[in-house]
Amino acid sequence: MKQLPLTVSVIIPNRNGVDLLKLHLPQVMKACAGCEVIVVDDASSDQSVEFVREKFPGITVLQLPRHSGFSSAVNRGVTAANGEIAVLLNTDTVPASGFLAPLLTHFQDDAVFAVGCLDRSHENGHVVTRGRGIAVWEKGFYLHRRGNPESRESAWVSGGSGVFKTAVWRMLGGMDEIYAPFYWEDVDLS
């Protein structure tokens, strides 16, 4: 059993997301106080890099020289991370205050590689909760469906809001960059 506290690096992949960064990065910084934060810019043509460097000088900004896709951006961030734990957050993700503490307790178990977050979004006047996917093999295909949000089990951990053990991520080689520009790389890694 590993003892807490663990060091945490937050990796935020970005592609032309300056408006989302302006909207959500202040809340991310508040919820992730004391964590290393890395924004990996995937060759944006907007003012994302300038915004982060000007408004958040404590954030590490990695600029990819050409558009490489989600998995490549995330892999570069985890490679640069100093934390024992890597938290992946999309630019449209707003973590709740105190979200890290309950997630990190799972890493006391050495067998745990990743922990998924429940995601809540507002759709058509309703709050929709996601983050517990189930999967079945059917006629040679891996089919995924929405699972019960109350379940502790999930078929995969989302790359848009997941928490991973950095050393294991690196040992596995990270997300397979064949899944470009995005989708299914997180399922493959999980």
Burial per residue of 8-44, b for 16 or more beta-carbon CB atoms within 10 angstroms, e otherwise: bbbbbbbbbbbebbeebbeebbebbeebbbbbbbbeb
Summarize pLDDT for 11-50 with one digit per residue, the tens. Answer: 999 999 999 999 999 999 999 999 999 999 999 999 999 9
Same domain, 42 and 28: yes
The predicted structure's pLDDT at residue 75: 94
The predicted structure's pLDDT at residue 165: 94
- Examine residue 3 and state whether it is found in any structural domain, yes or no: no
Residue 36 per-residue DSSP state: E
- Examine residue 52 and state whether it is found in any structural domain, yes or no: yes
Burial of 78 (0-12, 13-18, 19+ CB in 10 A): buried
Same domain, 183 and 166: yes
- Examine residue 73 and state whether it is found in any structural domain, yes or no: yes
- CATH code of the domain containing 17: 3.90.550.10
Domain that holds residue 151: 123-155
Same domain, 51 and 140: no
Same domain, 151 and 163: no
Q: Which of the two residues, 91 and 122, has the higher pLDDT score? A: 91
Q: What is the dihedral of CA 43, 32, 170, 66, to 10 degrees?
A: 0
Q: Which of the two residues, 118 and 97, has the higher pLDDT score? A: 97
Residue 149 has pLDDT above 80, yes or no: no
- Examine residue 82 and state whether it is found in any structural domain, yes or no: yes
Q: How many domains does the chain have?
A: 2
Same domain, 24 and 43: yes
The predicted structure's pLDDT at residue 50: 98
Token digits for 143?
A: 């089919």
The predicted structure's pLDDT at residue 166: 95
Confidence at 92, pLDDT banded by 50, 70, 90: confident
The predicted structure's pLDDT at residue 40: 98
The predicted structure's pLDDT at residue 180: 62
Same domain, 82 and 138: no
Same domain, 61 and 145: no
- Examine residue 40 and state whether it is found in any structural domain, yes or no: yes
Contact between 164 and 114 under an 8 Å Cβ cutoff? The reply is yes
Q: Are strands 141-146 and 85-89 parallel, antiparallel or unpaired?
A: unpaired
Same domain, 112 and 176: yes
Q: Among residues 87, 97, 98, 105, which one has the least CA distance to residue 1? A: 105
Token digits for 79?
A: 């490679």
Same domain, 25 and 48: yes
What's the mean per-residue pLDDT of the chain?
82
Residue 70 has pLDDT above 60, yes or no: yes
Summarize pLDDT for 99-130 with one digit per residue, the tens. Answer: 899 889 989 999 988 788 766 555 676 655 55
Same domain, 12 and 100: yes
